[in-house]
């Protein structure tokens, strides 16, 4: 009888020990789950804080930076111009347009040996205006010195036949160690005063990487 009692007592003790081990194991698992949830929430909150901080920094920056697709060049222009970047099949490294019909196109050409920049720009001017039957106020080619690059520019007015709106167009050529960079900047002629600084803003913010 005593032996049977001792057997049941020993069996109950083993059951209690097993139950305690299971409970302790469950507690450890529970703490681990809670720790993971806390860490996950902490990481999520950190990501949210980072995103909010980045958005605040972006909101405080009055300018937008536009990069070419290969990130070889960039322009930094005021957000007030309302420009958006487009990627097309044309030969433009950067193509910017606004709802107010301000358009900025940047392209690249290799250096032409044995020809001065003035000769290249002069040839470009004559080739350019041949594409416009309704142009006026053709300027002389003027020299530019900006960002330590030698450059030339010319401008004219033309009539957009699709909507019968007169436009101002200015072409800028810069000669760099990596070739020529050509800027086509155009907008409705009636906005000439609004965009009085757009040429300088574009050229002086131009960066080659």
Q: Are both 54 and 67 inside the same structural domain?
A: no
Residue where a domain stops, chosen among 19, 34, 60: 60
Report the half-sphere exposure of 54 (CA within 13 A, side-chain side): 6
Supply the range of the domain harboring residue 52: 1-60
Q: Are both 110 and 160 inside the same structural domain?
A: yes
For 76, residues 6+ apart whose C-beta sits below 8 A from its C-beta are 63, 64, 65, 66, 205, 207
Q: How is residue 90 written in tokens?
A: 């044309």
pLDDT digits (tens, 9 = 90+) for 122-167: 999 999 888 888 899 999 999 987 888 999 999 999 999 888 999 9
Q: Are both 75 and 42 inside the same structural domain?
A: no
Q: Using CB atoms within 10 A of its CB, is residue 42 exposed (0-12), middle (13-18) or buried (19+)? A: exposed
| Predicted local distance difference test score (pLDDT) of residue 50 | 52
Collapse the DSSP code of 134 into the 3-class scheme (helix H, G, I; strand E, B; otherwise coil) and give the result.
Answer: coil
76-84 mean pLDDT: 97
Q: Which residue has the higher pLDDT, 3 or 98?
A: 98
Q: Are both 1 and 51 inside the same structural domain?
A: yes
Q: Are both 167 and 74 inside the same structural domain?
A: yes
| Predicted local distance difference test score (pLDDT) of residue 21 | 85
Q: Are 105 and 184 in contact (CB under 8 A)?
A: yes
Q: Lowest-confidence range among 52-56, 95-99, 111-115?
A: 52-56
Q: Are both 55 and 68 inside the same structural domain?
A: no
Collapse the DSSP code of 205 into the 3-class scheme (helix H, G, I; strand E, B; otherwise coil) and give the result.
Answer: coil
The total number of structural domains that make up the chain: 2
- Does residue 1 carry a pLDDT above 60? no
What are phi and psi for residue 114, nearest 5 degrees? 65, 25
- Does residue 9 carry a pLDDT above 80? no
| Predicted local distance difference test score (pLDDT) of residue 30 | 84
Q: Are both 80 and 136 inside the same structural domain?
A: yes
| Predicted local distance difference test score (pLDDT) of residue 140 | 96
- Does residue 172 carry a pLDDT above 60? yes
Q: How many other CB atoms sit within 10 Å of the CB of residue 146?
A: 14
| Predicted local distance difference test score (pLDDT) of residue 33 | 86
Q: Are both 18 and 80 inside the same structural domain?
A: no
Residue where a domain stops, chosen among 17, 45, 60: 60
Q: Are 176 and 182 in contact (CB under 8 A)?
A: no
Q: Are both 127 and 31 inside the same structural domain?
A: no
Q: Are both 125 and 40 inside the same structural domain?
A: no
pLDDT digits (tens, 9 = 90+) for 111-123: 999 999 999 999 9
What are phi and psi for residue 14, nearest 5 degrees? -60, -40
Q: Using CB atoms within 10 A of its CB, is residue 187 exposed (0-12), middle (13-18) or buried (19+)? A: buried
Residue where a domain stops, chosen among 60, 81, 100: 60
Average pLDDT in the chain:
87
Question: What's the CA gap between 157 and 168, in Å, rounded?
Answer: 5
Question: What's the CA gap between 68 and 105, in Å, rounded?
Answer: 11
| Predicted local distance difference test score (pLDDT) of residue 39 | 74
Per-residue pLDDT band for 35 (boundaries 50, 70, 90) equals: confident
Q: Are both 151 and 196 inside the same structural domain?
A: yes
């Amino acid at each position: 009888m005593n032996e049977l009692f001792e057997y049941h007592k020993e069996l109950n003790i083993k059951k209690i020990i097993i139950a305690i081990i299971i409970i302790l194991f469950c507690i450890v698992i529970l703490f681990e789950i809670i720790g993971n949830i806390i860490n996950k929430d902490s990481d999520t909150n950190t990501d949210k804080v980072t995103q909010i901080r980045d958005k605040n920094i972006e909101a405080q920056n009055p300018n937008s930076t536009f990069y070419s697709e290969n990130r070889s060049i960039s322009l930094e222009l005021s957000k007030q111009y309302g420009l958006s970047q487009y990627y097309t099949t044309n030969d433009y490294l950067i193509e910017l347009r606004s709802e107010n019909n301000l358009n900025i196109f940047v392209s690249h050409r290799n250096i032409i040996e044995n020809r001065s920049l003035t000769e290249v720009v002069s040839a470009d001017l004559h080739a350019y205006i041949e594409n416009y039957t309704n142009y006026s106020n053709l300027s002389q080619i003027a020299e530019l010195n900006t960002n330590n690059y030698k450059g030339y520019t010319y401008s004219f007015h033309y009539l957009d036949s699709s909507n019968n709106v007169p436009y101002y167009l200015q072409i800028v050529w810069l000669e760099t160690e990596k070739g020529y960079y050509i800027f086509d900047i155009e907008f409705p002629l009636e906005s000439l005063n609004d965009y009085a600084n757009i040429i300088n803003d574009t050229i002086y913010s131009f960066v080659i990487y």
